[in-house]
Amino acid sequence: MLFNSWTFVVFLGVVFALHYASRRAFWQVGVLTVASFVFYGWHTPWLVILLILSTAVNAQAAQWLMAEGWSPQRRRAVLFGALGFNVGALAFFKYFGLLVTTLVPEALRARMPAWFSEVPLPIGISFYTFQGISLVVESWHAGTKGFPGLMPPRGPREVGWFHARVWFFKAFFPQLIAGPIVKAADFFHQIGPKRWADVDWSGALRKLVLGFFLKMVVADNLKEATALLSHPGFLEVPRLNLWLLLYGFSFQIFADFAGYSFIAQGLAKLFGYELPLNFDHPYLSTSLTEFWRRWHLSLSSWLREYLYIPLGGNRRGEVRTYINLFLVMFLGGLWHGAAWSYAAWGTAHGLFLALERLTGIGRADPTRLPLWRRALGIVVTFHLVSLLWLLFQFPDIRHAGAYVRCLFTNPGGALPQSIFVIAVFCLPAVLYHAWGASRGWRGRMGPLWSGRVEALVYGVLLFLILVNAGASGDFIYFQF
């Protein structure tokens, strides 16, 4: 079920009414949990089976890891068993086909059943699997002390409430399919009775309007405008258009994914929950190090807390630090998709992060850089990030390389209509980042004047959603 569909509007209205029909936490959690499973299985009901299995395994593992009287050996067995299940399920459904295609000779693959190389990818599995791992690891660390919002159950009623909250955490529909990735310790303490009167209507509407604008007006229109960004279509396209297509695709990815994240935050606010910020004007970054502090923040935080730090982080010498950076980004690239182009994308980011650390660029405080240095860093980083996005668009790395070559060798001239359309729909994303860069200046305007300007901006965004939305389509990160 797409957020940008009338079916979802009706679904949201019904769930909202049922949620606030009672102030009892158990009722509200139950309504949202059932609604989340309906939302997830709306178009493909069999997907719910895997989500149920994943949730049941992680819930039971969390209960056992918090149980009293368990020996360290038994707890360790539960931990590794749960982690093995999560990683194994993700590996099978996401990477089994890639491994078969890579390792098994073509002649042998031809005699295999089709499903060996065509295992279906359950939507959102990367996101809810990472949340399951977060729950298991947090439960392991907490033990019998528990953590805020999730204490070890002491009786049948508490066991039921324990599992109800875990199922709600794993399935909460706003962030179920494409994040933000919510860590257990950041969510469970929010679970409790919610009141209609406490809804942050202003914050929710701002997030929803911004999110739907980025998705429906910017990303969906750019998706049509960047249709030439395909092989072999780009081979005869003029250089200027190729550069504009690259910029358009870069802003399309941002607007599509950031749009989903803002919508998810707005929807969660309607039900009284706060989801973590996932994007902080990433194209204002002066380095790739800063980019990863602004882009997909929930993934960056998860990788740092559950992978980089357990590997040793930067505590075991410079060489080990560079190895950890490389390994984390390589795996982070593979997390995005079952193709070696994603691994190459993550590897490239890891190498540049290591280079920035080695040269000191990544350690510089961007707020203390001279204006010219910040401007240069933003331009260079944006182009580097945009070029690396080609590995998302082209599963065949050779096609991405051919595109880069064509940026410099294709004939001159221009396709004016294409340039105009891309420029028009990139402009809002540019202005959004300019709005973020003017944060300090807007603070000096005074709350009344600043509020009026902001109200006018959101009014314009809402108007454009109604009159200039592109053709509805899936969110890009659904495939991850």
The answer to whether the beta carbons of residues 78 and 139 sit under 8 Å apart is no
Q: Alpha-carbon distance 292 to 460, whole Å?
A: 30
CA dihedral angle for residue 431, residue 292, residue 387, residue 417, rounded to 10 degrees: -20
Radius of gyration of the chain (CA): 23
Q: pLDDT tens-digit profile of 206-243?
A: 999 999 999 999 999 999 899 888 888 888 899 999 99
Residues 115-126: what's their mean pLDDT?
Answer: 77
Rounded mean pLDDT of 248-254?
Answer: 96
Cα atoms in the Cβ-side hemisphere of radius 13 Å centred on 225: 30
More confident residue, 440 or 228: 228
455 falls in which pLDDT band (50, 70, 90)?
confident
Q: What is the pLDDT of residue 30?
A: 97
Residue 443, pLDDT score: 60
Look at residue 469 in the predicted model and tell me its pLDDT. Answer: 84
- Dihedral sign, CA of 340, 346, 347, 352? positive
Model pLDDT, residue 476: 76
Q: Residue 180, preceding bond cis, omega within 30 degrees? A: yes
Is residue 21 exposed (0-12), middle (13-18) or buried (19+ Cβ within 10 Å)?
exposed
Average pLDDT, the chain: 90
433 noted as active-site residue: no
Determine the pLDDT at residue 365. 85
pLDDT confidence bin for 442, thresholds 50/70/90:
low
Whether the per-residue pLDDT at 436 is higher than 80: the answer is yes
From 336, 349, 399, 433, active-site residue: 336
Asked if 33 and 108 count as a contact pair (C-beta separation under 8 A), the reply is: no
Residues 402-430 have a mean pLDDT of 92
**E strands of 270-320, at which residues?**
none
Q: Residue type at 459?
A: G
Average pLDDT over residues 386-391: 95
Q: Model's pTM, two decimal places? A: 0.92
Which residues does 280 contact at the CB level (< 8 Å), separation at least 6?
293, 294, 297, 436
pLDDT in tens, 5-30: 889 999 999 999 999 999 999 999 99
- Six token digits for residue 480: 């991850």
In whole angstroms, give the CA distance from residue 221 to residue 266. 23
| Confidence grade of residue 116 (pLDDT, cut at 50, 70, 90) | low
**pLDDT over 70 percentage in the chain:** 94
Give exposure, 460-474, as e/b (b: 16+ Cβ within 10 Å). ebeebbeeebbeebe
